[in-house]
Chains A and B, each alone.
Chain A
């Protein structure tokens, strides 16, 4: 980020005034018009406004350097039986006051702690008091007594605690230069107090040096027992509490156990872990997670993932750290080498056992922990055993499993970590590499999550956090190729989760396109600096590919084919081989969809060439399912060329390779490809009114299977839009086929599909399918004698077309939604006996029909649709007794197929159509 020169500021200042005086909604169009006039200024302004939004969110400079006087506590105020004297502390949890008993019966001082966290909730007051009184019964010489708990008249929860004057245990030990043995003995007092609480079924949950004080007379006093629990809402998970506290900045989880981070149940073993951390700190002067200056993000990662180094291994150091190590050892009346020898062996083993990631592998109780320490002091053999190889393997497996609760926390801590970066304004390389790893981790999680249906909410959380966090990295990534590559890749990933329809996504296509453009900018800057960077080359191809997919879904066909060309060219230069195994699926998917795009545009040779290259690569990478996908695309291309035998051969091979068998439900990705292949198998075998072999019964089998699978996925995740798309494809083809033989079943299929499509709003692609399905369903409705319902559906279909801006229009493209709907309207009129009405509709259709899509050559499928229109209109004229028009249309139809016979000589399908057209 660069500072603004006075000139730059003067230039942008009046615009900034204007922009800030507009509301968010007004700002977008205003900025858009500015883009047209002065793009450079608009871009600059947009960056500043984005910054403005982030600053507002962070509350930058919101809190002044001088805290406002506490509103709640006032000296002399009465709280229960206590009078407030003066504040003695202020922290994230709230304000702490020194108080005296008001009734003068006891000469007793107390600490009153007001809790600023609004976590008690409605009905929480009673619980707060009740649990407070339970904690109040906890009496132990080493536990600071909780005297009272309540809620003030202002609704502020408070705790009255025994007032302890003392020092934090770590500082107490350091100051008095206690040796290892003395520290262990003092620590045993702490264990005694915790064991007593555990015996009373009270877990501390927040043990840390600042909660363990030592008085001048050497008496240990534990503070805040059970208070962490008191702060939790009823039924609220520990993880969400941790999250709240993190968001509020109150708690750095330096002493949190892995289960507190992941949201697993908190038990006495949680305290064992925190005590392990405390002992580690007391004995080594260092935190088991490593050096002290860490962001919360690092810490969370370390707590869940990183096995702490042996205590003995961290007390000696070379180079710059020597002084620290010597100082630490001196505070323990020792030298680094002596300290290392003291810790090596039993103490290492005891600490490792207390600090196990898995609660069940820790000491079963605080007593057992204390017993081992006593044995150590008495030079007896301890119970804990050093780690074995089997243990380490188990840990590895665990590390690769992260529950969804942890996902949320990683996301939160990621944001926390960045906040930290900003706040401290220390942007060191090391930190960035950590942030990078976390970014990758975030998307790894999404990849895992995406394989299983039913987690849209979590993914949205990931998306929001990632977007915000990448935005903050933008400025720093400029001019740093390594970071730009990471950030660009991350933007691409983010776009995919948002709305690139190549995998299950959140359906946010506009956001996706926007992020892809940003990604492209970053990757291009990398390639400019490092033209040979292979990762960047591949990413560039992938981004072109993703944008191609989006363009296609938005009906921007020219854009799509030009992007396909770009992706193919970039892949060509990339020249993938065996060494790119790690990126295999990225490479193959890019080839696959580029090939498909070429096929759609009837660049048959190019499409088949890419398919062949892809199949070959899939074999190189030993990925048969991917080979199956390439065969499916080849089959589509063959079908378009009218080469139905080759198409059938390819699609059968494809479904055989892709079939996941009984495990389909767990094979999310492969099953998606399998569904598509099945749908095309059905279409090749027997699609109605289309380029097919006319084998309806076989076709129904394939389509039924695809329909059932898609339906199951839709049921598992109501927000999964891509599964709905496949359901629509299968439902449409199936309904269109069945309506000729089994009207009730066809209607059932149409209606079932329509119900699921209606559940999603604002997805243009799904809306288009809706039009087709509504139109298709009028045929079985007519045959079942329900014309009123048929009419109603046609109205709905035309309403959709109007909203989509597809109709009314001068041009109607063959095989489009509009053609389907208009033809259905004409057929509806005809079957209700209104032949002139039907003819008016068909004449209008014949006037406006376009044989191919905008900017594209008509394909065989378009020809098939055109031929059907000519045929249907001719039949209507025959019923009306207009032989002249009937004949003219018959000629048009025959000429159409004669032309195709020239385009595709000796093609069986075309010859068959030509034969049908020549019939009187």
Chain B
């Protein structure tokens, strides 16, 4: 399932370089995420992949822009990134765009793919390049997540999404995008306690699935 994401993202990058070869819908999608969202919500399953690709390249673009603006920050704030992307899209697509909460629900899922790609690139960088060792920078990397670990979480999350999509969404928002319980509760108009309970429930499922995968 995750591989599909990666294929997607590769495709998106490809599409960005060669807009003409993107099987026709690339341009349309990138220009109008709001209509894709609407179609997806109306149950048009064929747009799912397209929406993913469109959001991926959108988020990627915003990330690049932020990186350029801030120099080289120690980390990339996922929450900021999503908010920035939302503002950009609303500015472009106009007021017809669905509300922020619905956007976040989709985008968080896409963000997950972006983060895993990011972690994978970082690992490649760490292996190949010779770091300039600076004073005291001894423990760098302690908190950088392992992309393989993230991949296994992501796979388990896809399984969960088939059973209880709502739970999977919370994990995307909380774990991958760093939203607080209060923010998520606000988006979905439920109590914070409910969000937390769902999060705990999802966590049990994920742990089970990840552990089982490893023992076989």
B32 at interface by CB-CB < 8 Å: no
The 5 closest A-B pairs by CB, nearest first: A91-B139, A89-B137, A3-B212, A210-B138, A65-B145
Segment from A15-23, A790-798, A904-912 that makes contact with B: A15-23
Pairwise interchain contact A6-B77, C-beta atoms closer than 8 A: no
Task: Kindly supply a per-residue 1/0 record for chain A positions 162-204, scoring 1 wherever the CB is within 8 Å of any chain B CB and 0 otherwise.
Answer: 1111111001000000000000000000000000000000000
Query: Which one of B133, B137, B178, B204 contacts A66 once the chains associate, using CB atoms below 8 Å?
Result: B178
Given the known interface contacts A60-B203, A96-B135, the answer about A1 and B208 at a Cβ–Cβ threshold of 8 Å is yes
**A52 and B136 form a contact (CB under 8 A):** no
What's the Cα separation between A144 and B72 when bound, in Å? 26
Least distance between B170 CB and chain A CB atoms (Å): 11
**Central interface residue in B150, B162, B211, B212, by most chain A CB within 10 Å:** B211
Q: Which B residues from 166 to 216 make CB contacts under 8 A with A?
A: 171, 174-178, 193, 197, 200-201, 203-215
Instruction: Give Cα A61 to B207, complex, Å.
Output: 9
Residues of B near A161 (CB, < 8 A) are: 135-136
Asked if B71 and A86 sit within 8 Å, CB to CB, the answer is yes
Q: What 1/0 mask marks residues of chain B from 106 to 126 whose CB sits below 8 Å from any chain A CB?
A: 000000000100110000000
Residues A52 and B203 in contact, CB atoms below 8 Å apart: yes
Is residue A68 contacting chain B, with contact meaning CB distance below 8 A? yes
Please name 12 further chain A to chain B contacts, defined as beta carbons within 8 Å, in addition to the given A52-B200, A168-B138, sorted by A numbering: A1-B208, A1-B211, A1-B215, A6-B163, A9-B163, A61-B171, A68-B75, A168-B133, A210-B139, A223-B136, A250-B139, A427-B215
Nearest CB of chain B from residue A901's CB, rounded to whole Å: 68
Given A1-B208, A55-B207, A61-B153, A66:B135 Cβ within 8 A: no
Set A10, A48, A162, A213: member contacting B204, Cβ < 8 A: A48
Residue pair B74, A90 in contact (C-beta under 8 Å) = yes
Instruction: Given A1-B212, A223-B136, answer yes or no on A87-B74 (Cβ-Cβ < 8 Å).
Output: yes
Report whether A21 and B197 are in contact in the complex, using a CB–CB cutoff of 8 Å.
yes
B93 near A: Cβ within 8 Å? no
Give the nearest-CB partner of B152 in chain A. A425
* Residues from chain B with Cβ under 8 Å of A56 in the complex: 200
For A163, the closest partner residue in chain B by CB is B135
Q: Is A309 an interface residue (CB 8 A)?
A: no
Q: Establish whether residues A64 and B176, one from each chain, have CB atoms under 8 Å apart when the complex forms.
A: yes
Q: Is the CB of B204 within 8 A of A16?
A: yes
State how many angstroms separate the Cβ of B173 from the closest Cβ of chain A: 10
Alpha-carbon separation in the docked complex, A427 to B153 (Å): 18
Complex interface: chain A residues within 8 A of B214 (CB):
425, 427
Complex contact A6–B162 (CB within 8 A): yes
State the majority secondary structure of interface residues on A. Answer: mixed
Shortest Cβ distance from B156 into A: residue: A3
Complex Cα distance, B136 from A466, in Å, reads 37
Contact with B along A433-447 (1 / 0, CB 8 A): 000000000000000
Q: Which residues of A contact B140 (CB under 8 A)?
A: 89-91
- Rounded to whole angstroms, the CA-CA distance of A63 and B201 in the bound complex is 17
Docked pose: A67 CA to B72 CA in angstroms: 14
A429 contacts chain B at the CB level, 8 A cutoff = no
Closest to A224 in B: B136
**B143:A89 contact, CB within 8 angstroms:** no
Residue count of chain A within 8 Å CB distance of chain B: 61
The answer to whether A68 touches B178 (Cβ under 8 A) is yes
Nearest A residue to B214 by beta-carbon distance?
Answer: A425
Contact with A along B82-93 (1 / 0, CB 8 A): 000000000000
Tell me whether A165 and B75 are in contact in the complex, defined as CB-CB below 8 angstroms, given that A16-B204, A92-B139 are known contacts. Answer: no
For this complex, 11 residue pairs linking A to B, each with C-beta atoms less than 8 Å apart, are A1-B208, A1-B211, A17-B197, A64-B178, A89-B138, A90-B74, A93-B139, A111-B136, A164-B134, A171-B133, A223-B136
Q: Please state if A165 and B74 are interface contacts (CB–CB under 8 Å).
A: no
Q: Is the CB of A67 within 8 A of B75?
A: yes
Nearest Cβ on chain A to B78's Cβ, whole angstroms: 5
- A211 located at the interface, meaning its Cβ lies under 8 Å from any Cβ of chain B in the complex: yes
Q: By DSSP majority rule, is chain B's interface helix, strand, loop, or mixed?
A: helix
> Chain A nearest CB: distance from B154 CB in Å?
10
With contact pairs A1-B208, A52-B204, A425-B210 given, residues A65 and B139 touching in the complex (Cβ less than 8 Å): no
A884 within 8 Å of B (CB atoms): no
Query: Quick one: CB contact mask for A242-257 with B, threshold 8 Å, 1 for yes?
Result: 0000000110000000
Q: Can you name the residue of chain A whose Cβ is closest to the Cβ of B160? A: A9
Neighbouring A residues of B74 by C-beta, 8 Å? 67, 69-70, 87, 90, 95
How far is it, in angstroms, between the C-alpha of A504 and the C-alpha of B74 when the chains are bound? Answer: 55
State the A residues within 8 Å of B (CB): 1-4, 6, 9-10, 13, 16-17, 20-21, 48, 51-52, 55-56, 60-61, 63-70, 86-93, 95-96, 98, 111, 113, 144, 161-168, 171, 210-211, 213, 223-224, 249-250, 425, 427, 475-476
B135:A144 contact, CB within 8 angstroms:
yes
- What's the minimum C-beta distance from B143 to chain A, rounded to whole angstroms? 5
Residues of A within 8 A of B210 (CB): 425
Q: A9-B163, A20-B197, A48-B204 are in contact. Are A88 and B213 (CB under 8 A)?
A: no
The chain B residues found within 8 Å of chain A, CB to CB, are: 71-78, 115, 118-119, 132-140, 142-145, 149-150, 153, 162-164, 171, 174-178, 193, 197, 200-201, 203-215
How far is A443 from B40 in the complex, measured between Cα atoms in Å? 60
Structural contact, A61 and B203, CB atoms closer than 8 A:
yes
- B58 CB to closest chain A CB, in angstroms? 18
CA distance A211 to B143 in the complex (A): 20
Q: How far apart are the CA atoms of A90 and B172 in the complex, in Å? A: 25
B204 touches A51 (CB 8 A): yes
Residues of chain B within 8 A (CB-CB) of A48 are: 204, 208
Complex CA distance for A4 and B77, rounded to whole angstroms:
33
Distance to closest chain B CB from A169 (angstroms):
10
Interchain CB contact under 8 A, A111 and B135:
yes
In the complex the two chains form, is B136's CB within 8 Å of A88's CB? Answer: yes
Could you tell me the distance between the alpha carbons of A60 and B208 in the complex, rounded to whole angstroms?
12
Q: A57: shortest Cβ distance to chain B, in Å?
A: 12
Known: A88-B134, A90-B74, A425-B214. Contact between A63 and B143, CB under 8 A? yes
Assess whether B212 is in contact with A2, with CB atoms less than 8 Å apart: yes
B179, closest chain A residue (CB): A64
- Per the bound structure, the CA–CA distance linking A65 and B213 in Å amounts to 21
Bound Cα distance from A21 to B191, whole angstroms: 12
State which of B71, B176, B177, B209 has its C-beta within 8 Å of the C-beta of A3. Answer: B209
Chain A residues with Cβ below 8 Å from B171 are 61
Shortest distance from the beta carbon of B134 to any chain A beta carbon, whole Å: 5
With A6-B163, A61-B153, A165-B132 as contacts: A211 and B208 at CB distance below 8 Å: no
- Which residues does chain B contribute within 8 Å of A92, judged by CB atoms? 139, 142
A210 to B175, alpha carbons, bound, how many Å? 31
Contact of B163 among A10, A93, A427 (CB under 8 A): A10
User: Given A69-B73, A86-B71, is A55 in contact with B203 using a C-beta cutoff of 8 Å?
Assistant: yes
Q: Determine the residue in chain A with the shortest Cβ distance to B130.
A: A175
A91 to B, closest residue via Cβ: B139
Question: Which of the listed residues B149, B171, B175, B208 has the most CB atoms from chain A within 10 Å of its own CB?
Answer: B208
Given A17-B201, A210-B138, A427-B214, A69:B143 Cβ within 8 A:
no
| Known A21-B197, A87-B74; contact A166-B115, beta-carbon cutoff 8 A | no
Question: Min CB distance, A473 to chain B, in Å?
Answer: 13
Smallest CB gap from B199: residue in A: A61
Check A425 against B211 for contact (C-beta < 8 Å): yes
Tell me the complex Cα distance, A146–B204, Å: 47
Among A17, A66, A162, A249, point to the contact of B75 (Cβ < 8 A): A66
